[in-house]
A and B are shown apart, each in its own frame.
Chain A
Amino acid sequence: MFLPIEFYGNLLQGALITIQITAMAGVLAFVCALVAGLARMSSWRPVRWTAVTYVEFFRGTSALVQLFWLFYALPLFGLSLSPMTVAVLGLGLHIGAYGAEVVRSAVLAIPRGQHEAALALNMSPALAMRRVILPQAVVAMLPPFNNLMIELLKATALVSLITITDLTFQGQLLNTATLKTAPIFMAVLVFYFLIALGITSVFRTLERRLSVGRLKGMAR
């Protein structure tokens, strides 16, 4: 039932690609989430609408459809991206759209008193957002962002369908080469699970670091 040891090298190679895509798309997703999440609360209507369109579009269509569209259809507009770019761009934008809602609700959850105190200290809205609101909201964003990163990790399996040799693709290659189907895919799943555990432990550490000494009971 167990996979012979010599195959783990291939899976490990694939896992590294998976981790790489997860990390890069994760960074892009975070940036998109922050920009779109804040833009959705802008008082300037065109900015707000652009953000809403982005969020609804990427949440409304399937991640695989987005990847395929970028991969197959975009070249027809003369824009040919490498599979790796498509993967990072597609998944980053996709997860970022979900992240925008996380950012928005975390910011909205900051008590009104914090905004008022910042205003009473004559902070500009931008300064208040940067130094008072966001640092508090980030702590509240971490658990949902942890979940989103797991979703992102799972979604990276889709890149095997656009020719990237990630963990899933390596599993398939081994499957066709050896036909030891059950142990191979079980090993692939375990690899994903371990990466997911790694992501979660990173977020737990971040949470501990960011909430040290504070927030035990928010200032009433």
Chain B
Amino acid sequence: MSNPSPAQVATPDLDMSRTMPSGAKPMIRFSGICKAFGSLVVLDDLDLDIAPAEKVALIGPSGSGKSTLLRVLMTLERPDKGSIEIDGAPLWHMPKNGGLVPADGRHLREMRKNVGMVFQQFNLFPHMSVLRNVTEAPVHVLGIDKDEADARARDLLDMVGLRDKVNHYPAQLSGGQQQRVAIARALAMRPRVMLFDEVTSALDPETVGEVLSVIRDLAHEHNLTMLMVTHQMGFAREFADRVCFFYQGRILEQGPPDRLFNDPQNERTQAFLRAVLES
């Protein structure tokens, strides 16, 4: 696995793909990320910087690599090449004897504390009540006192509008309610970065709104860095500080939502937006 040379890391300004509010130190930095499944290249030498508290929407056709980018950041997939830094610390590598070596489980666990994720399929634990879904990891991973975790879980469930469902099981909830529990569950770990992977794609149309409104509130109230893979262009426009258009494992175009949606420069972006907005 190749590590970025210092020169590479220090020259973000010259690189179009690293467009980020200038002057800030990146919260997340992807450098030269490559990932292939067999012969299928999903991420192709991808660079991207995300500023602290920035809200970034990742759009593009399916298979263009946007979900995979979230998954390598969540350590669900190991990149074939390249490096990721979270707040300056390498994710898939760790310092040892003055150099960088592939990270071990302990380092990954330490780094993962920074990141939370919400999945397309919710992935709630079906054998646990809503409350236990939210308290399980804080109690058993972070070692928080059970009463404290309970109280905090109730606050979070209140925030997502599910205070009265604490004792229900996931199977008794609608998709939208399950997804809101999943958001509360991820937040309970107090991550600095939240990843949303097509969180409304599996929902019935009438419950999409309630989930988006929770994410909207989160974007306003919290100092969270948020990355969101979405097909909801309207929501991306209102939520994001920056929109990245993915195509074949690369970011072809990015910029503030107004510019990207109103005046896309790249031919493929134009074609994609036309197709999506027409449907």
Contact = CB atoms under 8 A, between A and B. Distances in A.
A–B contact, 8 Å CB criterion (strictly below): yes
Interface of A: 111, 113-114, 116-117, 119-124, 127, 131-132, 135-136, 139, 213-220
B171 A122 contact: no
Contacts of B261: none
Contact of B74 (A120, A123, A124, A218): A120
Contact of B126 (A123, A131, A136): A136
Nearest to A114: B123
A119 B127 contact: no
Given A117-B125, A122-B141, A131-B136, 12 more contacts: A111-B121, A113-B121, A121-B137, A121-B185, A124-B109, A131-B140, A213-B171, A214-B169, A216-B172, A219-B123, A219-B125, A220-B122
8 contacts: A111-B121, A116-B119, A117-B125, A119-B74, A120-B186, A215-B171, A219-B170, A219-B171
Contact of A122 (B113, B121, B170): B113
Nearest to B113: A122
Interface in B114-140: 115-117, 119, 121-127, 136-137, 140
B76 interface: yes
Contacts of B126: 136, 214-215, 218-219
A213 B172 contact: yes
Nearest to B195: A120
Given A217-B171, A219-B178, A117 B124 contact: yes
Contact of B171 (A114, A121, A218): A218
Given A113-B119, A119-B76, A123-B141, A135 B175 contact: no
B166 to A, nearest CB: 13
Contacts of A132: 125, 136
A117 B189 CA distance: 12
Contacts of B109: 122, 124
B123 A127 contact: no
Contacts of A136: 125-127
A110 to B, nearest CB: 10
B74 A220 contact: no
A65 to B, nearest CB: 40
Interface in B72-128: 74-76, 105, 109, 112-113, 115-117, 119, 121-127
A214 B140 contact: no
Interface string B49-90: 000000000000000000000000011100000000000000
Nearest to B173: A219
Nearest to B188: A121
A121 B189 contact: yes
Given A120-B74, A135-B127, A136-B127, A127 B119 contact: no
Contacts of A214: 126-127, 169-171
A132 B202 CA distance: 22
Contacts of A213: 169, 171-172
Contacts of A117: 119, 123-125, 182
Interface in B170-197: 170-172, 175, 178, 182, 185-186, 189
A127 B109 CA distance: 13
B193 to A, nearest CB: 12
A123 B140 contact: yes
Contacts of A120: 74, 76, 112, 115-117, 119, 186
With a 10 A CB-CB cut-off, give which of A116, A124, A215, A219 has the most chain B CB atoms: A219
A220 B175 contact: yes
B91 to A, nearest CB: 13
A37 to B, nearest CB: 19
Contacts of B141: 121-124, 127
B127 A215 contact: yes
A111 B112 CA distance: 22
B174 to A, nearest CB: 11
